[in-house]
Each structure stands twice: as C-alpha cells, then as structure tokens.
Structure 1
Amino acid sequence: MNKIIVPIDFSEHSEYALEAAVKLAKGNDAEIIALHMLEMSDSVLTSTDSEQQQKAVFFLKLAEKRFNEFLDKPYLKEANVTPLVKHFKVFSEVNDVAKDQGADLIVMGSHGTSGLSEIFVGSNTEKVVRHSEVPVLVLKHKFNKDHLKDVVFASDFSAESVAVYQKAKTLFQDFKAKLHLLHVNLPSDRFRSTNEIDQTVSNFLMKAEGNLDKLSQINFVSDYTVEKGVLNFANKIGADLIAVATHGRTGIAHFFEGSISEDIANHAVLPVMTFKI
C-alpha cells in the first residue's frame, strides 16, 4: 500500500474519507493524494479570450485557497498528504488520476442514506466505483477504527471472482486484517445444495490458492437475500468492513441484485470496499 486517493468536495463526507485514509495510511506509511476536481467547462479551459482566461485563473486560485484551508487540520500534521487540483469535469476521470499516480486505493464519502446496493447509485461515488480499476472504499459515516481487524468478503465463488479475491487478499494483508469469506445461500431458484456449494467452493480455492487448506474457513449462511445475509453475518462477527465485487458496466455490486427492503438497507452503516471484476 503506497498511495491512497481521496476525492475532496469540501463536504463533511469527504472529511470522513480523509480521516479514514490517514488512519489506513499510518500502518503502511502510504502517501495520501487529496484530489479536488475543478469542474470547469471546456469553453473556459480552452478559450483564447483574455476574459475567459482570467476567469479560469480566478476559479483555480479560489479552489486552491479553499483546498488549503480544508487541509489545515490537526490530524493531517504528520500525515504524508499531497494536494492535487485537476481540471476535470466528471468524477469518472478519478480513475485516470489513480492510474497516473499508481494508486492502490480510493477512499471517498457517500451522501447516500440507503443500503449496500443503492449506496452507489446516482452520485459521484457511483461514477467513481463504475470506472475505477483500483479498489474503492465507500464511507457513509465517520470511520472510528484506527485499523481494520475483521473484513467480510462476500462471494458467489464463481471463476470470475478469483482475481477479485486475490486482489482483496493482498490488500487486506497490508492492513493486517482478517478476511472472512462468506457465501449466502438463498431460497427458491437460487438455492444450492450443500454438495453443490462444496464443489463450487473447492473449485474456487484450487484456482485461487492452489489447495483446499482454507475450505474449513469458508462461512455459509442461509437468508432471504444476499444483502440481508451479509449484513447479519457482518453484525454477528463485529466486522469493520464489507468487501464486494462490482461489474464496471453498472458500478453496482453484482451480489446485491433485486429489490432491498428499506429496513435492511438502513442498517448498512459499515464501510464498503468494491473490487472491479
């Protein structure tokens, strides 16, 4: 873990993300790239008109001043923070910054109030999750842990999840966190027998690990929805974070399909980290 990007929009939620990044960076001596997206139109940025050029310079200096004031916080004094202002128009371009900087993780706050599926919809967070090729940690609340201890990795143990698992395993080893692998069995047409699940998991572990040493460590629960099963299990073990895989074409966690009742969704207070398939 060398670099963490934190998109900053000066909101309370982006401060949650910045504080969390500082805590996560401590154990790894990682650099934090505090990124502000100066959303200016092409007409302003490329204009040869002197008035438009003056306007662009004014907005840039105003953003830098506000940015510096935002970063003047006691908990950042000993952190390795690099401010970066980019003239981008859309948050999907955060992935370009992540690639240019060689970032390992993006941490950002979400203004959403709903659950794991809907947390990524209709916001700048969703745009980042959809396009990001590096893991994205999404926070809805202040991150109160100094470090991660227990992480739930929800998986269907399909072949396409192997690379995601390997990436998650490496990342959470950096954080010295314990990874709890979880499969949620569902009723009706998505139900699978014990033998079917055992075979799927065995095939997964042989591809991901080359052996079956962790077979006894896989957690199985039965519930009416995957999301409900994941949340209940996370609460049961006192997890600090939930990790899921996402499909880039939608940005939505692919394990969380279908409708989700509000009473369950409102309990999704844990941080969620996404890994793109």
Structure 2
Amino acid sequence: MKKIMVATDYSDSAGSAVHYGVSLANHFGSQLSLVSAVEEPYSASAGALVDIRQKIREQAMETMTQVKNEVSGQLTNGASIDIHTVDGDPGRTITRVAKAKDYDLIVMGTKGSTAARELFTGSVANSVIKNSKLPVLAVPVKVPFSDINRVILSVDDQPLAGPHVLQPLIELIRAYGAELIVYHGDRDGDGKGYDPKLPEYLSGITHRFEVRRGEEESITEGIQKTIKLHRADLLCLIYHDRGFFGRLFNESTVSKVVFDSPVPLLVLQDA
C-alpha cells in the first residue's frame, strides 16, 4: 500500500479517518494524500458560482494544510503527506481520482448516526465502495483510533475470484502483526460453508476459522457477536453483487446491528 487516499469533507467524520490513514502510511512507508472534493453549489448565478466554489476550495485547502502540519511530525518509515482539492460530486470524483492516480486504498470517515446508515443509503462512502474497485476503509464517526491487533473477516459461501481479492488484507495483517479470525455464519445450515480455497489463500499469516450455526440469529447479529466476543479492532467484508452483501443490503436491521460497532470496516472488492 504505497499510495493511500484519505477522502474527507472535514466534518466531524474526518478525525479518526486521518489517524487511521497516518497509521497505515507509517506501517507501509506510504504517500498519504488528503483529498477533498468540492461539489458545485445547487443554486447560483454563473459569476457567483465561480466565487463560491473558489471560497470552498480555499477553505478546504486551509483546513487540510492545518491537518497536514499537525500530522507531518507523526509520519515515520519514509511516509509522506500531500493535499489536494478536486471539483465534482464527491462519490464519483473520489472514485475517478483514486483510479487515475493509482491509489491502493481509500480511507473515508462516515457521517450520520451510524456508519451503516451512510454506507447503505446512497451516501458518498456507499458510492465509492460500489464503484471504485479499490479497497475502502470506512471509519464510523464515533470510532476513536485504535491499533489493529485483531481482525474479523466475515465470509459467506460464495467463492472468491482469486487470492488477489484478499491481498490488501494480508498485507495489513502482516504489517500490523495482527491476528485474523475468519468468521462464517452457516445460518441456513446448507453445509456449503465458505470457499474451500480460503485456507490456501491465507497461508503464511496467523489465522483461524470460526463457523457458527444458528437460525435464531441474523447474519448481522452473528457478526456483531463475533466482534464483541473477540474484541476485534477491524471488521473486513468482501463486496460482490451476489450472496452475502446482497443479503446485507436487504436487511432492515443492518444499521443497528453490524455497523453500530466500535470498529472500522474494511471492504475488499471481489473482482
């Protein structure tokens, strides 16, 4: 992870995301970029539009410069930091810039009463997760920074496209020396289990599998219990348009169960 983007509007959701970005940059010796998307005002005359956009851009740069100055002294291991503003709708613009500039990871703060409410109601984070094809670390607004010592990877019964899907997670596990717990909730009891190639894909890192059966609890309840039981510092999910994530999108309790938790969410792309 040599290039990490922290995408933010510098609301209250920005603080912890920046701290996680700094921590990751230090572990990987990365270039850390603070990026703020300047969205066009909904209503303004031509001349006023230019003035408003310029003022927003200047305010964003001023705030990011302050943050840059605050965290520059915290950078180690050859990590560096730069700042940028870009014009356009935040979701589409962040996705476009991340692809064009070859970033390896996007870190985002999520606003709202819960992270899930933002992620699953067409928010910027949701747009980026669905369209960027890059790993996304979504940090809920109320989550304070914590070192990553234990990670929960929740998987369903869908096969992965290949070992490359898990590579960002494996790199993170190695960099932090963290423990990985692979959780699978066999709620329907169909016996299909998880992708049989997972042990092969995860060889070389410390990990163990935990499979639970229980129709009395939902997918999200099972994940939530696992996070609390193991005092995890990070939850990792794999995004694909079928199976697990498809079911999550349709669960009305998702915002109250999974993402109302004291851990950030790392989303990997199954592509």
State the TM-score, normalized to the length of structure 1. Answer: 0.78
The residue that corresponds to 2:27 in the other structure is 27
Question: Match for residue 191 of structure 1?
Answer: 189
Alignment partner, residue 218 of structure 1: 209
Q: CA separation in 2, counterparts of 1:65 and 1:111?
A: 20
Could you tell me whether the CA contact under 8 Å between 2:4 and 2:103 is conserved in 1?
yes
Aligned to 1:160: 160
Q: Distance in 1 between matches of 2:247 and 2:149?
A: 23
Aligned 8 A contact 1:64 1:85 in 2: no
Partner of 1:48: none
Aligned partner of 1:246 in structure 2 is 239
Task: Please give the TM-score of this superposition, normalised by the length of structure 2.
Answer: 0.80
For residues 233 and 218 of structure 2, the distance between their equivalents in structure 1, rounded to whole angstroms, comes to: 21
Quote the offset at 1:263 in angstroms. Answer: 5.1
Query: What's the secondary structure of 1:253's corresponding residue?
Result: helix
**Counterpart for residue 181 of structure 1:** 182
Larger gyration radius, structure 1 or structure 2: 1
Task: Give the letter for the 1:235 counterpart.
Answer: K
Inter-partner Cα distance in structure 1 for 2:56 and 2:257: 42
RMSD: 3.3
Query: For the Cα contact (< 8 Å) 2:5–2:103, is it kept in 1?
Result: yes
Write out aligned runs for 1:1-277 (5 A): 1-40=1-40, 52=46, 56=50, 59-60=53-54, 62-73=56-67, 75-78=70-73, 79=75, 80-114=80-114, 116=116, 119-140=119-140, 141-145=142-146, 147-160=147-160, 162-163=162-163, 164-186=165-187, 190-193=188-191, 196-197=192-193, 200-206=194-200, 208=201, 217-223=208-214, 224-247=217-240, 253-254=245-246, 256-261=248-253, 264-265=257-258, 267-277=260-270
Shift of 1:18: 1.5
Match of 2:13, SS state, is helix
| 1:10–1:143 Cα change, 3 Å | same
Task: State the 1:120 CA deviation.
Answer: 3.2
Aligned residues: 258
Q: CA deviation at 1:157?
A: 4.5
- State the 4+ residue runs in structure 1 displaced beyond 3 angstroms: 51-55, 114-120, 200-206, 252-255, 260-263
Q: Aligned residue for 1:47?
A: none
SS in 2 for 1:218: strand
Give unmatched runs, 5+ long, in structure 1: 45-50
Q: Is the 8 A contact 2:116 2:260 kept in 1?
A: no
Asked whether the equivalents of residues 39 and 90 of structure 1 are also in contact (C-alpha less than 8 Å), the reply is yes
Determine if contact 1:150/1:179 at 8 Å carries over to the other structure: yes
List per-residue Cα deviations over 1:5-55 (Å, max 9, x = no partner). Answer: 1112120102221122112222222121111111137x99xxxxxx94785
- Cα gap change, 1:204/1:62 in structure 2, threshold over 3 Å: closer, same or farther? closer
